Chain A
Amino acid sequence: KAGVTQTPRYLIKTRGQQVTLSCSPISGHRSVSWYQQTPGQGLQFLFEYFSETQRNKGNFPGRFSGRQFSNSRSEMNVSTLELGDSALYLCASSPSSGGSTDTQYFGPGTRLTVL
């Protein structure tokens, strides 16, 4: 079975721009979660989608948004980029409907650099 895939793997943007990241979960997985990983804050939960609905949300500003499609693929968007948004953005999928606390399988991440 193919693992979680994320595109693009690397991205460079400038302040004020917006960016869209994509995640394809493991086949059959219906829950997709997004995380931000930085050296200073560690791994922080952004949001979780299940059946095209946002089910959980972390403590991030409204500039961070996401969506899930009917095939469970997910995208996250960050508008009006700030220097502090530079991070590794990780996507994780779960096999069942038990919420973001079920066993999660992570993708390789998208490294976003904001200049």
Chain B
Amino acid sequence: GENVEQHPSTLSVQEGDSAVIKCTYSDSASNYFPWYKQELGKGPQLIIDIRSNVGEKKDQRIAVTLNKTAKHFSLHITETQPEDSAVYFCAASIQGGSYIPTFGRGTSLIVHP
């Protein structure tokens, strides 16, 4: 089955710095890669996603890049703010099929004011 590795497990940055979280996946058939943000006491919230026919996607301060050949994708957050502090999860799955999504173990991002 699919295996998703996520690094780092903890990331501490100063406000205004950039943060990068990386994930690798094992199944070359995976074609849908969402990122979720989970704040304390809440469920994960989708923040951005990318499909395998796209190499990069941006949404304001957030961007995701995908390298299908290397089977890795990354989340980039620029100009970090204290409210970005949360746990971020990546996932990989096959969209449109009956395929179980596999999640990374999560990255705890801490943004210091």
Q: Residues on A close to B: CB < 8 A?
A: 4, 42-45, 55-56, 58, 90, 92, 98-109
Contact = CB atoms under 8 A, between A and B. Distances in A.
Contacts of A56: 98-100
Would you call the interface of chain A mostly helix, strand, loop, or mixed? loop
Given A56-B100, A100-B100, A101-B97, A42 B44 contact: no
A98 B103 contact: no
A92 B49 CA distance: 16
B interface, over-half SS: loop
Interface in B11-37: 32, 34, 36
A100 B93 contact: yes
B42 interface: yes
17 contacts: A42-B106, A43-B44, A44-B103, A55-B98, A56-B99, A56-B100, A58-B100, A90-B43, A98-B96, A99-B99, A100-B98, A100-B100, A101-B99, A106-B44, A107-B43, A108-B41, A109-B43
Contacts of A103: 34, 46, 49
A92 B98 CA distance: 16
A4 B44 CA distance: 12
A99 B41 CA distance: 27
B42 A108 contact: yes
Interface of B: 32, 34, 36, 41-46, 49, 89, 93-106
Contacts of A104: 34, 46, 101
Contacts of B97: 99, 101
Given A43-B103, A45-B100, A108-B43, A101 B32 contact: yes
Contact of B44 (A44, A55, A90): A90
B53 to A, nearest CB: 15
Contacts of B32: 101
Contacts of A108: 41-43
Contacts of B106: 42-43
A105 B45 CA distance: 7
